[in-house]
């Protein structure tokens, strides 16, 4: 962060802090938010963590979860509470997203908020709206950036086991369990520091990866045996899931997370895509290997973005039309995908 002294002055005076992360938050989004919340509370702030939607049950173990203001379709109450907190905040922290579009119904409230704005993120091509920025596209996780910021202001000693577990969860998941190409020495150093401060790697891994429902595993089995398709000429794999198929396996938020990685685990595959019907829209997840940029593809064709090798997007036509559209754009990337 450039103007670190001004940032320090801002957070050294106890005040009202809001932390907001993206729609359908993952472990890095929620872990970095709750980790930062724990830290700010220890500094005497009143902190409100806001999520623009619900999130997977395998994240509910995170300390601070019960106080999260999560917007929902069932009630307008959380949205009211969130907007009031944003308008009254001395500072609004925006974590793990680079485009205000990703906080959906809260975009305007954050844009108009009178408090200082702080962006902590690692996605490509960030919007310019923040007063303070801790941004690094080479960083594997936002949780790691939160850790480095705390380190930079010399307050590492405030990190306790609860904060460490939240941050560790973000580092672990955004590196795919320390397997993706974004796993560098830095991620191991951050994970090591967090473990020294009380994070419990096997506990966090168990909570996130091994608390499946039987239905979720059966959905995975169904996808692998019936839905995973390969386009050999383009070294591409894809999966589509209709809302009926998701209903058949009593699918909950988060149950589709990780499915897209199976496509990429096939030898020779360079691009993997998951498309599923989220009712209000079709959600797409892209993963790639090497130099092929799914960020570019998601931005150009599916109102999305993310990282070079992991991006997301949406489509407002039917699932079948979305698939046809995707298959039709593949030839444009022939030279990159087919050799
Ligand atoms: P996932 O496929 O796991 O949902 O997301 C992969 C990456 O792309 C994550 O870093 C996520 O934050 C980002 N991402 C997912 N959906 C969108 C989207 O609709 N727009 C943008 N800009 N990024 C997205
Ligand atoms: Mn992230």
pLDDT tens for each residue of 68-108:
999 999 999 999 999 999 999 999 999 999 999 999 999 99
Mean pLDDT of 283-298: 98
From the CB of 310, is ligand 1 less than 6 Å away?
Answer: yes
CATH number (1.10.580.10, 3.90.1150.10, 3.30.70.2660, 3.90.1640.10) of 4-209 reads 3.90.1640.10
Instruction: Report the distance separating Cα 217 and Cα 93, nearest Å.
Output: 36
Nearest to 280 by CA among 28, 21, 24, 22: 24
Residue 280 has pLDDT above 90, yes or no: no
Calculate how far, in angstroms, residue 289's C-alpha sits from the geometric centre of ligand 2.
Answer: 18
Q: Is the CB of 305 under 6 A from ligand 1?
A: yes
Residue range 43-54, pLDDT digits in tens:
999 999 999 999
pLDDT (tens digit, 9 = 90+) per residue, 211-258? 999 999 999 999 999 999 999 999 999 999 999 999 999 999 999 999
* Token pair of 202 as six digits: 């096997």
Residue 240 parent element (H or E): strand 236-241
Q: How buried is residue 183: exposed, middle or buried, by Cβ count under 10 Å (0-12/13-18/19+)?
A: middle
Distance CA 114, CA 62 (A): 30
Per-residue confidence band for 116, with pLDDT thresholds at 50, 70 and 90: very high
Residue 249 in contact with residue 216, Cβ under 8 Å?
Answer: yes
214-338: CATH architecture: Roll (3.10)
Cα 301 to middle of ligand 2, angstroms: 22
Q: What is the largest CA-CA distance in the chain?
A: 59
> Is residue 99 in contact with ligand 1, taking CB distance under 6 Å?
yes
- Distance (angstroms) between ligand 1 centre and the Cα of 12 equals 33
Residue ranges of the chain assigned to CATH 3.10.310.30: 214-338
- 314 Cβ below 6 A of ligand 1: yes
Q: Which long-range contacts (CB under 8 A, 24 or more apart) does 77-80 make?
A: 79/105, 79/106
Q: Answer whether 254 contacts ligand 1 (Cβ < 6 A).
A: no
E strand or H helix at 118, and its extent? Answer: strand 116-121
Q: Measuring CA to CA, which residue among 105, 54, 53, 55 is closest to residue 83? A: 105
Cβ–ligand 1 distance for 170 under 6 Å, the answer no
- Report every protein residue that has its C-beta within 5 angstroms of ion ligand 2: 28, 96, 142, 174
Rounded distance, CA 289 to CA 312, Å? 15
pLDDT for res 339: 78
Specify the domain boundaries for CATH 3.90.1640.10 within the chain. Answer: 4-209
């Amino acid at each position: 962060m450039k103007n670190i002294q001004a940032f320090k002055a801002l957070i050294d005076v106890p005040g009202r802090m809001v932390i907001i992360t993206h729609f359908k938050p993952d472990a890095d989004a929620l872990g970095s938010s709750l980790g930062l919340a724990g830290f700010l509370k220890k500094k005497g702030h009143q902190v409100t963590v806001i999520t623009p939607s619900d999130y997977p049950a395998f994240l509910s173990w995170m300390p601070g979860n019960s106080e999260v203001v999560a917007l929902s379709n069932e009630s307008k109450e959380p949205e009211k509470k969130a907007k009031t907190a944003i308008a009254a905040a001395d500072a609004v922290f925006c974590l793990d997203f680079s485009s205000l579009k990703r906080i959906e119904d809260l975009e305007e409230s954050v844009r108009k908020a009178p408090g200082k704005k702080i962006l902590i993120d690692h996605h490509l091509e960030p919007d310019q709206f923040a007063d303070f920025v801790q941004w690094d596209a080479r960083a594997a996780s936002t949780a790691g950036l939160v850790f480095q910021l705390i380190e930079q202001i010399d307050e590492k000693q405030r990190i306790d086991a609860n904060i460490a577990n939240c941050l560790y969860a973000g580092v672990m998941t955004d590196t795919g369990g320390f397997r993706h190409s974004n796993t560098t020495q830095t991620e191991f150093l951050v994970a090591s520091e967090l473990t020294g401060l009380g994070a419990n790697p096997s506990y966090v891994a168990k909570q996130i990866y091994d608390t499946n429902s039987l239905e979720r595993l059966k959905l995975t089995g169904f996808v692998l045996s019936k839905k995973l398709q390969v386009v050999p000429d383009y070294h591409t794999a894809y999966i589509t899931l209709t809302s009926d198929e998701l209903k058949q396996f009593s699918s909950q938020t988060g149950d589709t997370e990780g499915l897209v990685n199976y496509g990429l685990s096939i030898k020779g595959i360079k691009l993997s895509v998951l498309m599923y019907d989220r009712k209000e829209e079709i959600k797409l997840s892209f993963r790639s290997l090497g130099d092929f940029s799914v960020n570019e593809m998601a931005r150009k064709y599916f109102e999305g973005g993310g990282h070079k090798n992991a991006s997301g997007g949406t489509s407002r036509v039917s699932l079948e039309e979305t698939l046809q559209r995707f298959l039709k754009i593949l030839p444009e990337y022939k030279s990159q995908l087919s050799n």
